[in-house]
Amino acid sequence: MPNARIAVSDLNSMDQEAFVAALAGIFEGPPWIVRQTWHDRPFAGRDDLHRALCAVMNSAPVEQQIALIRAHPDLVGKAALAGTLTPASTGEQAAAGLDRLTPEEIATFQDLNARYHETFGFPFVICARENKKASILAGFTTRLANTREQEIATALQEIAKIANLRLNDTVI
């Protein structure tokens, strides 16, 4: 996330490309949510903007929602271990303590990631900034029992939480 924060009033006056550029990184993957939300301007405030972004995400076809979920990195996955996560994802995983794991804990996360991918066909998404290692591991165990439809809904709820925290970092 950029250090400079931007006012909602400034976002409201931007053309679509500037709006998309200003909110790059709020969601993982291509900026289709932000691009589509631009049409809903003006926004009364950050909460109104977040509601509009989530409405676009939640009303998208399921294939597009799954693509959004798949754009998220695995927790303690290859990208994290290689140091190639986005700065936002790196900070979020570090906030949960996932950058300070033992080799055994890394192996546990990698096993759970593989089981989750095999079960659902997309990565486990959880708002790491609202969790720590123990609650994330418990989340894997609990959520592996869900149906695919339940997991899509849960992942989208977690993405909404992530987006809200990233908006709070970016927009005043």
Residue 169 domain-assigned (yes or no): no
Q: If phi over 0 gives left and psi between -120 and 50 gives alpha, with beta otherwise, what is residue 88?
A: alpha
Q: Is 50 a catalytic residue?
A: no
Residues 78 and 158 both lie in one domain: yes
Q: What is the CATH number of the domain that holds 109?
A: 1.10.3330.10
Residues 83 and 156 in one domain: yes
DSSP state of 40: G
Which domain-ending residue is among 52, 67, 82? 67
pLDDT reported for residue 21: 95
Q: Which of 39, 50, 72, 117 is catalytic?
A: 72
Boundaries of domain holding 38: 8-67
101-150 pLDDT, tens digit each: 888 988 998 999 999 999 999 999 999 889 888 899 999 999 999 999 99
Q: How many domains does the chain have?
A: 2
Residues 83 and 143 in one domain: yes
Same domain, 80 and 154: yes
CA angle 95, 159, 90 (to 5 degrees): 30
**What are φ and ψ of residue 171, in 5° steps?**
-115, 135
For residues 61 and 112, state if they share a domain.
Answer: no
Q: What are the CA-CA distances from residue 76 to residues 69, 127, 129 (Å)?
A: 16, 14, 14
Residues 86 and 135 both lie in one domain: yes
Query: Does residue 92 sit in the same domain as residue 112?
Result: yes
Is 127 part of any domain?
A: yes
pLDDT tens figures, 137-172: 999 999 999 999 999 999 999 999 999 999 999 999
CB neighbours (10 Å) of residue 63?
8
CA distance 170 to 172: 7
81 and 58 both lie in a single domain? no
Question: Distance between CA atoms of 37 and 51, rounded to whole angstroms?
Answer: 10
For residue 167, tell me if it sits in a domain. Answer: no
Residue by residue, DSSP assigns 66-133 as HHHHHTSPPTT-HHHHHT-S-HHHHHHHHHTTTTS--HHHHHHHHHHHHHHHHHHSS-----GGG--H
- Asked whether residue 28 falls in the same domain as residue 98, the answer is no
Of 34, 67, 100, which residue is a domain's last? 67
Task: Clarify whether residues 94 and 130 are in a common domain.
Answer: yes
User: Is 1 among the domain residues?
Assistant: no
Residues 126, 76 contacting (CB under 8 angstroms): no
Per-residue pLDDT tens over the stretch 31-85: 999 999 999 999 999 999 999 999 999 999 999 999 999 998 777 777 666 666 6
Banded pLDDT at 1 (limits 50, 70, 90):
very low
The conformation of residue 30, written as its DSSP 8-state character, comes to S
Q: How far apart are CA 28 and CA 161, in angstroms?
A: 13
pLDDT of the residue at 81: 65
- Domain boundary pick from 48, 67, 86: 67
